[in-house]
Structure 1
């Protein structure tokens, strides 16, 4: 690591320091609600001989306060801002202090991973902060080389479909022979689920930039990237957990898991905006025009309103091995679900079956306890996850959930999505997913 290679980091560090010390700067003003103490502590840390320890303390405090604000339904913007800037400054400080290029790989990866934490945990908050972080990551990656033993187990995911047992449904999700026009989608087809077979076959993700290629997924991210993963097959289970994991390690683990169906624990990247971290990945999609059609609220879900962001669109990715399950639950938005890699079985039931879906009760009001994803802390009246495992035999369900067979099964639908298929279903519909092999999917809420 030469002095010249650190110049850009030092200049950026000084620019951010000047900004942070300017009370009239709009970005700095966003930190004011955190309190004078925390802002001054951050400023003091930057000029302290113990900058690493003090910035680590600021990151820890901001993270704790973000969690408390979320649990109490209060704004956590200032704490997200504090967390973001503390992570950026901490990584720039550590990177700038490196001297020996031959020993730089591990600390540089640590700096990059900390910047990913700012993206994953804090948003990141602040005008232009995401772009700044992504540019900084690219510059840091350019300064290092991977270790000699950083090899990929295989070039492509091994896709070996499991036997698909019958689900607790009475009919198939209809597959339309042709793509509906926007007008017909809004007036007719947006009311009920449907599948468009092969709709994604022209996507770059299915052709020039195949998402089934581990080598491609590794190369577009670069070294040192961090992603959030779920540990365990089903988030209703007591042994389910979440953690952050290096992207390269996740891809290696995923490849090994597909070769060993009984490996444990199952690692799953679920409902994550991977495009925010890897913008080039979004270029591999062709967003369907349907997401911009503004369909009216369906009869069975009159409380519908689109996502509150500027695009009125939320896009998430799902990547995991065969056997991973998303239990039956509801979402408040229209959903277009794109199956890019692998096969996935989908179970659906309409909103009117809700009284017989045996949803989990709302979570406790004790905010000191960790959030259980099967309960709904923010709106207990809309607890949205079912206790019924819809992918087992009905005989296993009848004893514990006696009304499910009579009131849900006659209205439920099921289908297996093949690579390239697109699924649509309206808000309020119960849906469960099970990966039959390594699966990479994209959900689009609108």
Structure 2
């Protein structure tokens, strides 16, 4: 048992820290208390009972996985997601008691990703970061991926912009001209200090920091199409297929890491960006947390015309995106889908309008712009937007109330 593993056990929550999480959950209460007590006494009690306790922890993980996948994810109780997450962490520790081989560490990394994707680890951030660091060192496949290219910075081009542009506006100017006015605006020179603008062009850096993580990838260029699907894949495999030096195979699917909370899953990447001060402006007395989403993919990814319910600041790190906007007042003229899942998505193709099929689009005032590296696009709530990447692209969006 290596010293690094023993140090990790000190970050595990003790039973007294878990009692509120498992209140009313008899099965979880028994299993997690047994697991916490066992690992808290590793130095004195040996491994007696480890196999049976590890089996029970695995069963608890499976049980709560089933609960999470019953019904709509938004309706899953927070306590269930917390129990699932911490049970996954205990499962990792009992797996590592069996072996700390590279293959075992890689298997444990996948368990940790599941804990982050499905569970809630907000209460155990320090443990999460330490586990990521420990498992990524010496993993079975951490050094086997082929080198990736370093992307050339795009030369800025002059392009028509149908909305106002502001050069590094002050908070007061942003609040008056954008936020309070409900005015979409292209913000220039507001994220030039981000290390991401330089570091993320080297895809090998992304491979090193994030390659071993499992993330949900969209298959197909458009989530509203019948051919669209999702898969959980390693970032290293996604990067290799979509950005690798080998020529793409004919007919290869476009894959898109879209609307994913990547920076919660990989804290090291979050150090390369910062939340813009504009996101602190709110109509509420106490602003709520800012949702940070990652958008990474090759040229040709498309987000069809849709709207978001929150204020949205879309920041372009590398690559460029062609964007088409429409005001909330034109909602009925954009033919929203009838289904609940796609109610915020239009049936029209904003890039290729079909007035014969959708005659009301003739009434819509569309606004077009090109989002280039270092630019930020502010979109008020419920403004419709169509987004297409013109080159390999990485964007970060900030949503807030």
| TM class, shorter-length | 0.7 to 0.9
Correspondence 1:204 to 2:195:
yes
Match of 1:428, SS state, is coil
2:88 equivalent to 1:87: yes
* 8 A Cα contact 1:158 1:258, kept in partner: no
- Label 1:437 to 1:50 Cα distance change in 2 as closer, same or farther (>3 A): farther
Q: Where in structure 1 are there 5+ consecutive unaligned residues?
A: 297-304, 364-372, 375-382
CA RMSD in angstroms, aligned pairs only: 3.0
Give the unaligned 5+ runs of structure 2: 39-48
1:60-89 Cα deviation digits (max 9, x unpaired)? 221221233645x64511211121122101
Q: Distance in 2 between the 1:120 and 1:266 partners? A: 22
1:149-164 → structure 2 map (5 Å cutoff): 149-152=144-147, 154-157=148-151
Report Cα offsets for 1:270-310 as digits up to 9, x if no partner.
1112111222322222432221122x5xxxxxxxx79x9x7
TM-score, L = length of structure 2: 0.85
Match of 2:266 among 278, 284, 293: 278
Provide the TM-score with structure 1 as the length reference.
Answer: 0.77
Matched, 1:388 2:378: no
C-alpha distance in 2 between matches for 1:38 and 1:263? 48
CA separation of 1:427/1:147 partners in 2, compared to 1, >3 Å: closer, same or farther?
closer
Matched position secondary structure for 1:385? coil
Q: Which residue of 2 aligns with 1:189?
A: 178
**Distance in 2, Cα, partners of 1:59 & 1:249:** 27
Deviation at 1:257, TM superposition (A): 9.1
Q: Output the CA distance in 1 between the equivalents of 2:246 and 2:312.
A: 28
d(CA) in 1 for partners of 2:276 and 2:368? 23
Aligned with residue 70 of structure 2, among 68, 71, 83 = 68
What is the match of residue 242 of structure 1? 230
Offset from partner CA, 1:150-201 (integer Å, 9 cap, x none): 322x23247899xxxx9xxxx8432525333322322223321111244433
Residue 440 (structure 1) aligns with: 394
- Greater Cα shift, 334-343 or 190-199: 190-199
38 and 178 in structure 1: CA distance in 2 versus 1, 3 angstrom threshold = closer
**Cα distance in 1 between the residues matched to 2:61 and 2:162:** 47
Matches within 5 A, 1:257-268: 259-260=247-248, 262-268=250-256
Q: Which position in structure 2 is the counterpart of 1:119?
A: 116
Could you list the per-position Cα deviations for residues 43-71 of structure 1 after superposition, in whole angstroms to 9, with x for gaps in the alignment?
56884635555433322221221233645
Map of 1:402 onto structure 2: 359
2:221–2:300 Cα contact (<8 Å) kept: yes
Match of 1:108 among 105, 108, 126: 105
Check whether the contact 2:164–2:184 (CA below 8 A) recurs between aligned residues.
no
2:316 touches 2:372 (CA, 8 Å); kept in 1? Answer: yes
Question: For residues 54 and 231 of structure 1, do their structure 2 counterparts lie closer, same or farther at Cα, with a shift above 3 Å needed?
Answer: farther
Contact 2:103/2:139, CA 8 A, preserved across alignment? no
**Counterpart of 2:244 in 1: which secondary structure?**
helix
Structure number with the bigger relative contact order (C-alpha 8 A, sep ≥ 6) is 1
Q: 1:37 aligns with which of 27, 30, 37?
A: 27
The residue number in structure 1 matching 2:61 is 59
Per-residue deviation, 1:346: 0.7
Residue deviations 1:338-368 (CA, integer Å, cap 9, x gap)? 01110111111000001111111133xxxxx
> Alpha-carbon deviations, 1:236-275, whole Å to 9, x = none?
1223222221122222122139953854222211111211
Aligned residue among 371, 378, 385 for 1:417: 371
Partner-residue secondary structure (3-state), 2:231: strand
Distance change in 2, residues 1:147/1:217 (3 Å): closer
Counterparts of 2:289 and 2:296, CA distance in 1: 24
Distance, in Å, in 2 between the alignment partners of 1:68 and 1:109 is 28
Which SS does the other structure have where 1:196 is aligned? strand
Partner of 2:300: 323
- 2 CA distance for matches of 1:146 and 1:390? 42
Please give the per-residue CA displacement for 1:384-411, whole angstroms capped at 9, x wherever unaligned.
Answer: 111111122x3xx223212112x22xx1
